Homo-oligomer: A and B are copies of this chain.
Amino acid sequence: MKDPGWLTPQEQRAWRAHLAAHRLLSHQLDRELQVFGLSLNDYEILVNLSESPEHRMRMSELADATVQSRSRLSHQISRMEADGLVAREDCEDDRRGTFAVLTDLGWETMQRVAPEHVASVREHFVDLLTPEQVATIEEVYTGVVEHLHTLRSAK
C-alpha cells in the first residue's frame, strides 16, 4: 500500500466544507429556480446559449462548456425543447452535428430569471465573502479547473 498522505485536520475540514457547501448551495439555488420551472442545470444551459453568437452552440461545445457527457446533455436538451426553451437545429454547411438554439421563450425566460438567480447567488455565496476571499476563490478554483482540463486533454 502506498503512503496515503492523510489530510491534515485543517485540509480535511476545508475539503469537507467545500463538499457540504457545494451540495447545500446547489440544493438551495435549485429550489429557488424551481419557482420558474428551471433546474440549476437548465439555467446553466440558458446562460451558455444566451452568451453565444446568435444564441446558438454546437451540442459538443455545450457539453464541454457544461462539463457533461453528450448523452446526458441530449436528454436535458430534449426536456428543455419540450418546455419550448431551446430548439435543435441541424447544421447545414457541415456535418459536425447539431446545434442547440435559444428560442424567444428561452431568451425571455433568461431575462426574467437572471436577476432573481443573481440575487440568490449573492445572498447565499458572494455577499458572505470579503473581496479578498472572492479573489482567493477565483484563484484557487481557476487553478483547479486548469489542472483538470490539462489532465483531460492529456488523455
Contact = CB atoms under 8 A, between A and B. Distances in A.
Contact of A17 (B11, B115, B142): B142
Interface of A: 1-7, 10-11, 13-15, 17-25, 27-28, 44, 66-68, 114-115, 118-119, 121-122, 124-126, 128-129, 131, 133-145, 147-149, 151-152
What secondary structure prevails in chain A residues at the interface with B? helix
A118 B6 contact: yes
A124 B151 CA distance: 10
B21 A115 contact: no
A28 to B, nearest CB: 6
Contacts of A1: 115
Nearest to A4: B115
B118 A7 contact: yes
A126 B17 contact: no
B118 A18 contact: no
A24 B146 CA distance: 10
A7 B122 contact: yes
B14 A119 contact: no
A101 B16 CA distance: 22
14 contacts: A3-B115, A4-B118, A6-B118, A14-B126, A15-B125, A17-B140, A20-B141, A23-B68, A24-B149, A28-B151, A125-B144, A129-B143, A133-B136, A137-B140
